[in-house]
Amino acid sequence: MKVGVVGIGHGKFGRRSDATVQELACEPFRDALMDAGGISRNDIDFLSVGSSPEYHKQRSLPGVIAEYLGMNPQSTWLTEAACASGSAAIRTAYMAIKSGMHEIVAVIGVQKMTELTTPEILALMGRVGDVQWESIFGTTFPGYYAMYATRHMYEFGTTKEQMAMVAVKNHHYGALNPQAMFQKEVTIERCLSSEKVAYPLNVFDCCANADGAACIIMANEKKAKKLNDTPIWIDGVGSASAQMSVLRRPHFIGIPSTVEASKQAYKQAGIKPEDVQVAEVHDCFTIAELMAYEDLGFCKKGEGGKFIENKQSYIGGKTPVNVDGGLKAKGHPVGATGVSMTAEIVKQLRGQAGKRQVNAEIGLTHNVGGIGQYCFVHIYRR
């Protein structure tokens, strides 16, 4: 039995001081119901919520969301995997449907981050590393990825210019996405001269903390065909973990959980990396997108820099990547990101992506939690 996506909704990402978490969740939920052919809330038997709870004043999010959306007494709970919570919630829904326990599931990824100050967020995110032996030295989330970047530059000659090219591409496409936080082009020079965050990363190498929500409705094969003329099928789901402490990782040139999760997803879907025609990858930092090209097999290890330099991840290139702006331009409301990636791939495969449309039948999402402690790779097909 296949599992399909029959409805999508995507709220505006950015600084959303106008809305509570549950109000944010309601925006894409309403749109996803409409998109799924005006399906009734009563038809949904499980609400799978993805979010990283530390950022919110409100505790136990699914409770308040289920009530606000009028989804009581249906089953609901939270799935957490840091920045990959959204994809983890999709995997929870996939397992629920695959097992036959539920037929139609709504997945909501939501996050409100701007209730906290930037130093508070830096402290919080730095603690996604090992707090016993690492955070005591003032590690930060950008700092961890920066250490990957330094080593990647050392081993492969990757340059800061190549990293900036990722930002330039993602802002180029973000400018075409009305849901994006930043809808403005940037230049390499602007990126390289932006404020330093953690050498070798500057502000423009980093995605922005944002508020936002996205929703998808998933259903089993029978219901999906009834609800939607063009359900998008989930053909492969991969999930893997890597050491919490980067000190215990095998190397600093790639994310091992990405390699493992993508292998699983490719195998289940019966495809190779070169069959992927459009991809959403986890570009929390520009170096993360370069490593993702390599770890997902779009190019060889160490050639991520050349891949962007030769515009292979642009529309018209070998594998168009993050043509909605990515985390970089769209904003990264942690729990919402994985669901947002899926909504974009569904749009692409349905042919509804407007100016940023890629002609594609097979799409991929790659969602990383923390510094690769968690990774989820999903393959979608028209």
57, 118, 229, 272: which one binds other proteins (CB under 8 A): 118
CA distances to 10, 98, 339 from 52, in Å: 18, 25, 13
**Nearest approach, Cβ of residue 119 and other proteins (Å):** 5
Q: Is 172 annotated in the active site?
A: no
Q: Two tokens at 95?
A: 């397992």
**DSSP secondary structure letters along 122-147:** HHHHHTTS-TTTTGGG---HHHHHHH
Check binding of 333 to other proteins (CB under 8 A). no
- HSE-up (13 A, CA, CB side) for residue 292: 31
Near other proteins by CB under 8 A, which window of 86-94, 125-133, 269-277, 310-318? 125-133
19, 123, 192, 271: which one binds other proteins (CB under 8 A): 123
CB atoms < 10 A from the CB of 191, how many? Answer: 22
**Nearest approach, Cβ of residue 351 and other proteins (Å):** 41
Check binding of 233 to other proteins (CB under 8 A). no
Check binding of 301 to other proteins (CB under 8 A). no
* Catalytic, out of 26, 83, 206, 215: 83
Q: Two tokens at 156?
A: 């492969």
Cα dihedral value 222, 228, 230, 236, nearest 10: -50
Q: Is 332 annotated in the active site?
A: yes
**DSSP secondary structure letters along 276-344:** --EEE---SBHHHHHHHHHHTTSS-TT-HHHHHHTTTTSTTSSS-B-TT-HHHHH-B-GGGHHHHHHHH
Near other proteins by CB under 8 A, which window of 122-130, 158-166, 209-217, 306-314? 122-130
* CB closer to other proteins out of 153 and 176: 153
Check binding of 134 to other proteins (CB under 8 A). yes
* Catalytic, out of 102, 171, 172, 332: 332
HEC secondary structure over 290-307: HHHHHHCCCCCCCCHHHH
47, 97, 105, 122: which one binds other proteins (CB under 8 A): 122
Binding mask 196-215 for other proteins (x = CB under 8 A): xxxxxx--------------
Phi, psi of 286 (to 5 degrees): -60, -40
Report the C-alpha gap between 366 and 25 in whole angstroms. Answer: 22
Check binding of 192 to other proteins (CB under 8 A). no
Check binding of 132 to other proteins (CB under 8 A). yes
The separation between CA 285 and the C-alpha centre of its own chain, rounded to angstroms, equals 12
Q: Two tokens at 316?
A: 């018209």
**Nearest approach, Cβ of residue 291 and other proteins (Å):** 13
Check binding of 99 to other proteins (CB under 8 A). no
**Nearest approach, Cβ of residue 128 and other proteins (Å):** 12
148, 293, 374, 380: which one binds other proteins (CB under 8 A): 148
**Nearest approach, Cβ of residue 211 and other proteins (Å):** 20
48, 85, 139, 286: which one binds other proteins (CB under 8 A): 139
Residues sharing a CB contact under 8 Å with residue 109, sequence separation 6 or more, in sequence order:
49, 50, 51, 85, 86, 89, 213, 214, 215, 333, 335, 336, 337, 338, 339, 340
Binding footprint of other proteins, residue count (CB under 8 A): 38
CB atoms < 10 A from the CB of 250, how many? Answer: 9
Check binding of 228 to other proteins (CB under 8 A). no
* CB closer to other proteins out of 232 and 287: 287
Check binding of 252 to other proteins (CB under 8 A). yes
Instruction: By CB under 8 A, name the binding residues for other proteins.
Output: 118-120, 122-123, 126-127, 130-140, 142-143, 146-148, 150-151, 154, 195-201, 245-248, 252
Catalytic machinery residues: 83, 332
